[in-house]
Each structure stands twice: as structure tokens, then as C-alpha cells.
Amino acid sequence: MDRGRVLSERSPRDSTDHPSGAVPPSRYESQKRRDWNTFGQFLRNQQPPVGLADCSSNQVLDFLRYLDQFGKTKVHIHGCIFYGQPDPPAPCSCPLRQAWGSLDALIGRLRAAYEENGGPPERNPFASGAIRIYLREVKERQARARGIPYKKKKRGGGSGSCSGSGTPHDGANSSIVRFS
């Protein structure tokens, strides 16, 4: 290790920081690996267990629905007095769900992991039309429940507020259950 270097000059991924000399995976790569392992465990827990080679968009949809129970985003139901209100003045008993943005990012990571783990792109269940339709429906349902239309993110510079959701973060840090 070069003791003459200033800390600010060193990359956080500098291999001299790790005794094995290996560069640690990026945050994205680590999350992708955790998501892939979680999905694999979900498939093994099915009755009967489903192998990755036999996985279809049906299992992916089941996985997304399963994850909903661990969400942190309040999604008002049609009968709720706060349905369509962006900032409800009081609590209600509506369910917590996975935020659309979290599900969209999850599918993107799993789509990449599928192919990186040897899955043929033409059979990628994460890239199927059924998954795209499901994500679109979740996005629209959550937008209606909050009374806020989603706006396309603008590329490039800007103020940093792209989604127009009125919330600083739409649940991207919501927890995903890990199996041990």
C-alpha cells in the first residue's frame, strides 16, 4: 500500500484496500446477485419446486405479487376516502405495496442476471410482454391511488425532481426478503 497517497486520490474500489487484491462488486452488481439468489430461492420453495430452465413469466408474476407484502408504499384502495389524494391528512388502513419504481428496477436487474447466468435472451421470462403489462398496470394503479400522474423522466440536467411524485423517494430502498 502506498502510504504517500492522499485518501481523496484513492478510488473506493482500489484493490489495495482488500487483502485478496480483488475489486469488490459494485452496489448494483451486489444487489443484482442478491435479487437473483432471492428469486432462485423463491422458485425452490414452490410446490413443486421450479427449476430456472422451466421458469416462465407466470413465476415472475407470482414473485412480484409475493414481494408486495413487504412493500413500504401506501396504495389507497377505491373505497378509501383518501383515494386520489397525493398527501392524505390522516392515516388509513390501505395496504402497503412495493413501489412501481422498485419493481421496475428489480425486473431490470433480474433480466440482466438471467442472461448473465446462461439464460437465452429469447426465453428471458423477465423480458416478456406479460411483465411489461403488469408493471404498467402497477404504475397506473399507484398513480391513480395517489392522484398524481407519472411523468417521463427528463434526461440530462435539471432540478433533480423528475417523477413529479411529490415524494423524495418512491420506495427504491424498500426491503426485499432474503431467505437463508
pLDDT tens for the chain, 180 residues long, are 443 333 333 334 444 455 566 889 999 999 999 999 999 999 999 999 999 889 999 999 999 999 999 999 888 888 999 898 888 888 888 889 999 999 999 999 999 999 999 999 999 999 999 999 999 999 999 988 886 655 556 666 544 434 333 333 344 433 333 323
The whole-model pTM stands at: 0.69
Q: Cα separation of 163 and 170, whole Å? A: 9
Q: How many CB atoms lie within 10 A of CB 93?
A: 6
Contacts of 69 (CB under 8 A, 6+ apart): none
First to last CA, the chain: 36
For residue 29, count CB atoms less than 10 angstroms from its CB and return exposed for 0-12, middle for 13-18, buried for 19 or more: middle
Q: For position 145, what pLDDT does the model report? A: 85
Q: For position 153, what pLDDT does the model report? A: 60
Q: For position 12, what pLDDT does the model report? A: 40
Q: For position 73, what pLDDT does the model report? A: 87
Q: For position 159, what pLDDT does the model report? A: 45
Q: Cα separation of 45 and 68, whole Å? A: 17
Q: For position 87, what pLDDT does the model report? A: 83
